[in-house]
Amino acid sequence: MADINIPVSALNLAPVRQGGSKKDAIDATVDLAQSLEKMGYARYWIAEHHNTSTLVSSATSILMKHVLEYTDEIKVGSGGIMLPNHSPLVVAEQFGTMATIYPDRLDLGLGRAPGTDMLTASALRRSKTDQSVYSFPDDVQQLLTYFGPEEEQGYVKADLGINTNIPIYILGSSTDSAVLAAKLGLPYVFAAHFAPAHMEEAISIYRSRFQPSDYLAEPYMMVCANVIAAETDEEARREQTTMQQFFLNVVRGNREPLNPPVDDMNEIWSSREKEASSSMSRMTFLGSKESIREQLTQFQEKYNVDELMAVSYIYDPEKQKRSYQILKDIVSE
């Protein structure tokens, strides 16, 4: 029997909604965290995206600090910090400082993509000849050291990071990240919410190659997926059109805010755009409580993941919270 009684967590890209301001988007990020904490969600992660006017998640650690300040116990993390954009020492100092203020409440999810276009990526880089995309494994190792015991530190250290043991998660959408997470013995989070193509292969590689470490005795596999839950399948399908417009914006390279649902997506997208958008978002749990329970059961029969991280692009904040509540109810039954 598939185990659907697993921890659930949430990822937020912190989108600006149509008719709302950037400040509204930041306030909504905190409001959702407070609601998820009451529901009993395990963790709440915030993404990193740059030069994207419709997402306010460019300064991830500052948003995390803001959320930590207005919540009490939910774990708050990065989904993720894109290491090519940051010096590991700076990350260790920022996260070490937050961990000193808010002990045992931080997660550090790490990715190797820049989280933006190449022109913006080069503006973010540490130097013009920067090879940080290739130094990702070494950068991760450096962070593990910075958060480790005093006796393992070198001359350069992140004083506030020492002995904090902030949990590090490897994020990815390809098999390369699975290989690295397995080799380092770290938890692995697959980004199936926008790049599901290699999910099955990545899960298999991670589990088969996993090497126990000081951080983890056995594999811990998380999958990030889209979740649109509502009272009925019909209502969920309508709410889904907000997500479909979101992915259509990605396909078109548009910078539109999160739009309200529409009656008919076929009036908006071409068949080619529909195909491209749908292939990105096909890892979606959609429908009523009964429908999602069935979908999650089938998913767990096949993949048996340890934790599900949900992204919900829903325009109405109250309906978004309701979607998260339905998911939590399913896994808590």
Q: How confident is the model at residue 122 (pLDDT cuts 50, 70, 90)?
A: confident
Q: Confidence class of residue 181 from pLDDT cuts 50, 70 and 90?
A: very high
Fold of 8-331: TIM Barrel (3.20.20)
Residue 185: asked if its preceding bond is cis (omega within 30°), the reply is no
Contact call for residues 55 and 47 (beta carbons, < 8 A): yes
* Residue-wise pLDDT tens digits, 23-46: 999 999 999 999 999 999 999 999
Q: At what angle do helices 175-184 and 199-209 cross, to 10 degrees?
A: 20
Q: How far is CA 333 from CA 75, 196, 208, 293, 325, in A?
A: 22, 28, 31, 10, 12
The answer, yes or no, to whether residue 128 has pLDDT greater than 80, is no
Looking at residues 19-25, what average pLDDT do you find?
98
Identify the weakest region by mean pLDDT among 6-10, 113-117, 328-332: 113-117
Q: Which amino acid is at 130?
A: D
User: Are 173 and 225 a contacting pair, CB within 8 Å?
Assistant: no
Q: What is the pLDDT of residue 309?
A: 98
- Give per-residue pLDDT as tens, 148-166: 999 999 999 999 999 999 9
**Cα torsion angle, 80, 84, 88, 90, sign:** negative
pLDDT score recorded for residue 120: 72
CA dist 96 and 62 (Å) reads 13
DSSP code string of 110-133? EESS-SS-HHHHHHHSSSTT--TT
pLDDT at residue 2, as a whole number:
80
DSSP letter (8 states) at residue 135: -
CA–CA distance, 180 with 231 (Å, rounded to integer): 41
The mean per-residue pLDDT over the stretch 296-310 comes to 98
Question: Mean per-residue pLDDT for 168-196?
Answer: 97
| Phi, psi dihedrals of residue 284, rounded to the nearest 5° | -130, 130
The pLDDT of residue 262 is above 70 = yes
What are the boundaries of each domain within the chain?
8-331
Section 109-122 average pLDDT: 76
**Per-residue model confidence (pLDDT) at position 126:** 55
CA distance 84 to 48: 12
**Confidence band, pLDDT 50/70/90 cuts, at residue 117:** low
Give mean pLDDT, residues 127-153.
Answer: 86
What local confidence, expressed as pLDDT, does residue 116 receive?
Answer: 63
Count each helix (H run) and each strand (E run) in the chain, helices first. Answer: 11, 9
Q: What is the pLDDT of residues 62-94, one digit of tens each?
A: 999 999 999 999 999 999 999 988 999 999 999
Is residue 201 over pLDDT 80? yes
| Backbone region of residue 163 per phi and psi (left: phi > 0; alpha: psi in -120 to 50; beta: other values) | left
Q: Judge whether residue 131 has pLDDT over 70.
A: no
Question: Is the Cβ–Cβ distance between 49 and 115 less than 8 Å?
Answer: yes
pLDDT at 280: 96
Q: Tokens representing 115?
A: 């989280």
260 class by beta-carbon count within 10 Å (0-12 exposed, 13-18 middle, 19+ buried): middle
Give the pLDDT confidence score for residue 322 in this predicted structure. 98
Q: Which residue has the tokens 């306030």?
A: 27
Average pLDDT over the chain, rounded to whole?
95
% the chain with pLDDT above 90: 90
| Percentage of the chain modeled with pLDDT above 70 | 95
Residue 292, pLDDT score: 98
* Helix, strand or coil, per DSSP, at residue 226: strand
Question: In terms of pTM, does the model score above 0.85?
Answer: yes
